[in-house]
């Protein structure tokens, strides 16, 4: 018997910041890992999970979101990586490392057979390429795919000399967007929530940065737009920054609508800011397009895995991580996503005992670590 530590969803919370201990709570349950009945499914030992802002919307009850709301009393789920302990599914055997779209934030998960349709077996070659396993939750994982595939699909080929505004630029997705644009010869202006984050984003290749908490964002955007306007906007935040972009958009500007984090934790619906200049969508001939990365996987997954892990291994792309140790740490780590205390891609390392096995020691160099 082992004790399976878990972070459980505890209370539907439509507004405000998530509250560790209230929105979510710590739980544990005894588990006989050798003998528990699998009923045709799979038992995994969970290695790490990715915490993403969009999870906040699954804590609001049924809001018509395509990803289902969390269930009170059950573990919060997230994108994660796990090792198969026992399996009654032919495709998976003990020792396989699997990428899981919906993994409980807990040490062990029992997956019914139908849930394993969402597993993707990880390539042992990639795992031994020198990248840490949490990188496959960051730049080589969902946020990396998000940045890469949405640019390919919504913008197409980036045009050298064009200008891009990236909000939330120090975050998991933003940092890769900045680098992909910089490499393509696009001029980048990036916003983030502290001077330190702005320094980091400049180190990735941003030409100009805006600390949106202390600087005049519309004025800096306008100066950067100069007489050409800004051709692209990678929107992680919505609200005032979206409105400011629309005012300085170039004709035929493209808005990649990745998230709307400015509205996720509003205390009241009327606190969420929406742009009051949408008529410009018509007159400037803008395209404003949203997406969920899973829609792009069938078309782009192969090309992504061919290109991006290699660029990471060669140091051509940086991936700043913010790693929290231990399953219970997920509660505070999730809150930090919204207070801005995180530094880069937020992951929770669940299997801390065997961390070294997946290059985590190496990864920790340069990562912000919370123990």
Strand partners, 304: none
Residue that the structure tokens 């849930």 belong to: 115
| DSSP one-letter string for 111-133 | E-GGGGGGEEEPPHHHHTSS--G
The binder of a copy of itself chosen from 92, 136, 260, 304 (CB under 8 A): 260
- Whichever of 82 and 172 has its CB closer to a copy of itself, that residue is 172
- Whichever of 236 and 363 has its CB closer to a copy of itself, that residue is 236
Q: Does 15 help bind a copy of itself (rule: CB under 8 A)?
A: no
Strand partners, 43: 86, 110
Q: Does 271 help bind a copy of itself (rule: CB under 8 A)?
A: no
Per CB under 8 A, which region of 17-25, 39-47, 180-188, 273-281 contacts a copy of itself? 273-281
Residues 65-124 touching a copy of itself, rule: CB under 8 A, are 65-66
Per CB under 8 A, which region of 22-30, 118-126, 254-262, 333-341 contacts a copy of itself? 254-262
Per CB under 8 A, which region of 64-72, 89-97, 100-108, 352-360 contacts a copy of itself? 64-72
Q: How many CA atoms lie within 13 A of 83 on its CB side?
A: 15
Per CB under 8 A, which region of 12-20, 23-31, 129-137, 270-278 contacts a copy of itself? 270-278
Q: Does 286 help bind a copy of itself (rule: CB under 8 A)?
A: yes
Q: Does 145 help bind a copy of itself (rule: CB under 8 A)?
A: no
Evaluate whether 89 touches 111 at the Cβ level (below 8 Å).
Answer: no
Q: Does 292 help bind a copy of itself (rule: CB under 8 A)?
A: yes
CB-based contacts of 365, cutoff 8 Å, min separation 6: none
Per CB under 8 A, which region of 92-100, 214-222, 249-257, 325-333 contacts a copy of itself? 249-257
Number of residues that bind a copy of itself (CB under 8 A): 34
Q: Does 285 help bind a copy of itself (rule: CB under 8 A)?
A: yes
Task: State whether residue 369 is helix, strand or coil.
Answer: strand
CA dihedral angle for residue 250, residue 251, residue 257, residue 259, rounded to 10 degrees:
30
Displacement of CA 290 from its chain's centroid (Å): 15
Distance CA 310, CA 312 (A): 5
- Whichever of 37 and 226 has its CB closer to a copy of itself, that residue is 226
Per CB under 8 A, which region of 20-28, 80-88, 274-282, 358-366 contacts a copy of itself? 274-282
* Count of other CB atoms within 10 angstroms of residue 51: 26
Q: Minimum distance from CB of 288 to a copy of itself (Å)?
A: 4
Integer angstrom CA distances of residue 293 from 87, 153, 356: 29, 10, 30
What's the token pair of residue 180? 């992909």
| DSSP one-letter string for 29-54 | EEE-TTT---TTSEEEEEEEEE--GG
Q: Does 297 help bind a copy of itself (rule: CB under 8 A)?
A: no
Residue that the structure tokens 């972070």 belong to: 7
Question: Which residues contact a copy of itself by CB under 8 A?
Answer: 57, 64-66, 238, 242, 251-252, 257-260, 263, 269, 272, 274-276, 278-292, 295
């Amino acid at each position: 018997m082992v004790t399976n530590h878990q972070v459980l969803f505890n209370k539907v919370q439509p507004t405000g910041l998530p509250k560790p201990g209230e929105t979510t709570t710590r739980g544990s349950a005894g588990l006989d890992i050798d003998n528990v009945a699998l009923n045709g499914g799979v038992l995994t030992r969970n290695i790490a999970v990715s915490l993403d802002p969009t999870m906040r919307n699954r804590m609001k009850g049924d809001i018509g979101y395509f990803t289902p709301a969390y269930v009170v009393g059950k573990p919060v789920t997230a994108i994660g990586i796990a090792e198969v302990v026992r399996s009654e599914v032919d495709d998976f055997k003990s020792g396989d490392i699997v990428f899981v779209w919906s993994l409980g934030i807990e040490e062990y998960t029992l997956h019914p057979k139908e849930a394993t349709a969402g597993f993707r077996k990880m390539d042992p070659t990639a795992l031994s390429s020198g990248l840490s396993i949490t990188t496959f939750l960051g730049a080589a994982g969902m946020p990396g795919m998000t940045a890469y595939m949405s640019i390919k699909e919504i913008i197409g080929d980036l045009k050298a000399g064009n200008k891009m505004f990236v909000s939330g630029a120090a975050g998991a997705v933003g940092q890769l967007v900045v680098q992909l644009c910089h490499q393509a010869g696009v001029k980048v202006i990036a916003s983030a929530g502290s001077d330190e984050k702005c320094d980091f984003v400049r180190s990735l290749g941003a030409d100009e940065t805006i600390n949106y908490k202390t600087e005049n964002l519309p004025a800096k955007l306008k100066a950067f737009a100069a007489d050409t306007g800004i051709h692209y906007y990678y929107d992680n935040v919505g609200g005032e920054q979206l409105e400011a972009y629309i005012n300085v958009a170039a004709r035929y500007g493209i808005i990649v609508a990745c998230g709307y984090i400015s509205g996720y934790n509003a205390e009241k619906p009327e606190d969420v800011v929406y742009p009051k200049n949408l008529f410009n969508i018509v007159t400037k001939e803008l395209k404003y397009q949203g997406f969920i990365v899973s829609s792009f996987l069938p078309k782009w997954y192969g090309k992504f895995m061919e290109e991006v892990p290699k660029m990471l291994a060669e140091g051509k792309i940086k991936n700043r991580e913010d790693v929290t140790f231990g399953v219970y740490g997920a509660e505070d780590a999730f809150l930090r996503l919204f207070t801005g205390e995180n530094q880069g891609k937020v992951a929770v390392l669940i299997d801390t005992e065997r961390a070294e096995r997946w290059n985590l020691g190496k990864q920790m160099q340069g990562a912000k670590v919370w123990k």
